[in-house]
Amino acid sequence: MAKKTKSLEISSEADSREADLQIARKIQAAMIPRSFPVVEGLELNSIYLPCGAVGGDLYDVIQLSNDVLAFFIFDVTGFGVSSALISAMAKVCFINHIKPGISPRAVIERVNLELIRDISADFYITAFLGYLDLHDNRLTYCNAGHAYPLIYRKKDQTTLPLRTQGTFIGVFDNGFFEEQQVHIGTGDSLLLVTDGIYRVFSENLHEGRLLFEQAVLDTFSSATPVAFLEMIKKRFSQISQAGAMEDDVTAIVAEVLIQSRKNQIKEKLGFKAADPVYMQFLNYYEEIDRTIAVILSSMDAFGYPDDHIRKMKVVLTELLINAILHGNKRDFSKKVTVGHIVDKREAVISILDEGNGFDPAKVPDPTLSENLSRDCGRGLYIAYHYVDQISFSEKGNRVTVKKKHGLNVE
């Protein structure tokens, strides 16, 4: 009987721990950014790879104004529920203090004073915070003992480590945090990471950092930042499957697009290099309304009839859902790229997913009796009847719609 009682107690404790983990997972999942601000000429990508059920890394990109973006990333020591809850607390604290007119150093100083009162001496936080002024791509930044970011210089094919002096957050009341500035040129990329990324290259942290920096040089010079992140995910997966991954891996890449990169994306969208295309990128359903709002605002500015705008909203909603659901197969690491040109003659919108494509001719007709109960083809059927022209790329992973203005506008 005593053994049975002890077994029940152990089982109850295990259930309680699992319940705590479930709560921590939900809290942390709510803290992971679902989307980034959309900025013309700036492409943002990220990865978040926790080594356990929950981790201590968090990050975000916040638009402080039309001209300034705030990038921050931090790492709480340890793993598990305690680290996850402290990281959630720290993110709320950062967001509360990141405001226009408050410098990165001042924010970190305030976060330090606030958290040092609330977290145990067993924990500390490393963090990096930078403000990117989009007028001249000037980055003002401060580092609190965090793995230093890199700027990849496209023109010279070199990396610039953003080293500054700074103590950890949550350790000293009078911590020292140095603030510096650097210019990010056209074609350059800003790469923010946590030190777990070094572990995907070597168990030795110093050796891993050197190999990581060389991998940045090799990959960024021959491919895109997205290719680098994909390589990190593959390495992480392989090491994790072998049971040898001991730290979370987090990274954010901000690429200042050069004209040739913009032109490449334009061509993939079916436009010409000289076309004044406004480009947007999205991964999640939650970003659809925001993306559409930008396009509809342009149509409204050119005086398109309300009926045209209403129908275009319906069409774009259907097509973007299709791109995420059917094109990218709900793989939220894949992007949907949207480009549009709106003028006084017509609105042209092109949507490109990263899937394998499809044959639009094989989509069932939803008006046929045998398909009335099937959930297929309705989005395309609506699009065909609500726009003036719809076309697909040969591969079938890009759709372009056109809507004439319909009014005599000079």
Give the pLDDT confidence of 132-158 residue by residue, as tens digits. 988 778 899 999 999 999 999 999 999
**CA Rg value for the chain:** 24
The whole-number pLDDT of residue 150 equals 97
The mean pLDDT value of the chain amounts to 86
Domain of residue 342 covers: 262-404
- 3-state SS of 52-109 is CCCCCEEEEEEECCCCEEEEEEEEECCCHHHHHHHHHHHHHHHHHHCCCCCCHHHHHH
Residue at which a domain ends, from 257, 272, 307: 257
Question: What one-character DSSP code corresponds to residue 407?
Answer: S
133 and 267 inside one domain = no
Q: Are 271 and 338 in contact (CB under 8 A)?
A: no
276 and 246 inside one domain = no
The whole-number pLDDT of residue 263 equals 84
How many percent of the chain have pLDDT more than 90? 52
Residue at which a domain ends, from 200, 223, 257: 257
Q: CA-CA distance, 152 to 261, in Å (whole number)?
A: 15
The whole-number pLDDT of residue 323 equals 94
- Which of 12-21, 119-128, 199-208, 395-404 has the lowest average pLDDT? 12-21
Domains contained in the chain, number: 2
The whole-number pLDDT of residue 188 equals 95
- Which of 13-27, 223-237, 351-365 has the lowest average pLDDT? 13-27
Q: Are 283 and 335 in contact (CB under 8 A)?
A: yes
Asked if residue 26 is part of any domain, the answer here is no
Asked if residue 121 is part of any domain, the answer here is yes
Residue partners of 154: CB distance under 8 A and separation at least 6: 185, 186, 187, 188, 189, 220, 258
Residue at which a domain ends, from 257, 282, 308: 257
The whole-number pLDDT of residue 162 equals 95
139 and 234 inside one domain = yes
Q: CA-CA distance, 162 to 144, in Å (whole number)?
A: 12
In the predicted structure, residue 295 carries a pLDDT above the cut 90: yes
